[in-house]
Copies of this chain bind each other. A is one copy, B any other.
Amino acid sequence: MAQPKKAASIWDVARLAGVSHQTVSRVVNGSPRVAAATRDKVLEAIAELGYRPNRLARSLAGGAAESVTVLTADTSLYGPEAALRGIEKAARALDWSVQISVLDPADTHSDADIIARLPRAGEPTIIMAHDEPGMRAKQVLLDQQPHAMVAIGPYTAEELAASPWLVGMDDGKAAAEATRYLLDLGHTTVHHLAIPTSTGTFGGGKAHRAEGWARVLREAGRPVPEPVPSGWTIAEAFKAVQPLVADPEVTAILCGNDHLALATLRAAHLAGRSVPGDLSIVGFDNTPFSAYTTPALTTVNQDFESVGRGAFELLRHRVDGSIPRPVPGWPEPELIVRETSGPPSSS
């Protein structure tokens, strides 16, 4: 058995059951207008032939979507990975299929390249990329099929209001909260090890975390040190943070994510600075490992999985107007104080 014989189609089932193909279709799709006896016959034939519907043909004929393409940055980052998980779960629950396509900055991405990624025109798409190709992809889709796309990203309340296709969390506010917490602990100021922004180099583009951090410092009348730019990898962060940990004036560092915080933790250790005694470190994202480092990372929890789910719901709403617009129901980012933060030693 299991010869590569052709798969059974709806017609084969119809013939075997002695009904029309349409009746089979009705049975498969659970239409109520089928007599019980007929249904049983069809079901039997389906079982015997091992028939299963061809999704391709289904989509082609029905025009029904039932499928979502996720355009994402490198999935080795925790945020995109968790959001993808949320999307996949939500999609699976509704029996949608999920396509994934990674936007690699190394590829040359003309607009045509991006478009070619979509299985078909109007394919519902979620974009999850904060780098340059991601931004271009967003723009392209916004022009071409604004009703069938949703982007995940950091937002401020104003941005969300202005962009009905945007989903995300106000991580600027969370960064502000973390900064205020460190200030309240007695630190004179807080330094910032920053993740790359959408334009690649620090300074341009959106950098909500950095903005929230700077705002609090300004409001408190504290010096605002130049943020230290880091790449996404731990190795890059480790290198970038060296001057910070070497400087005894630096008593608190807010890191753009937990990987950067881990690198900072190790750099501090190697530089002979005790944490949190000499140096407080706060991370971002509450990556699973963060509770188990030694000392355990103080960090900001973000429920990316819920955001992913929210993005999926919003997409459904936008594709099919009859589905109610979801209310963003995920928890706000929240500071989790663990062991890497404390008052400065001088105080």
Contact = CB atoms under 8 A, between A and B. Distances in A.
A291 B237 CA distance: 13
A234 B115 CA distance: 40
A139 to B, nearest CB: 12
Interface string A243-265: 00000000000000001001101
Contacts of A81: 75-76, 81
B98 A101 contact: yes
Contact of A120 (B7, B120, B121): B7
Nearest to A50: B144
Nearest to A291: B234
Nearest to A238: B292
Contact of A119 (B1, B89, B97, B289): B97
B56 A56 contact: yes
A60 interface: yes
Given A76-B85, A101-B92, A102-B88, A52 B122 contact: no
A99 interface: yes
A81 B101 CA distance: 14
A271 B231 CA distance: 36
A15 interface: no
B122 A4 contact: yes
A121 B7 contact: yes
Contact of A293 (B55, B84, B235, B266): B266
Q: Pick the 6 closest A-B CB pairs, nearest first.
A: A7-B121, A55-B119, A54-B120, A266-B292, A269-B294, A56-B60
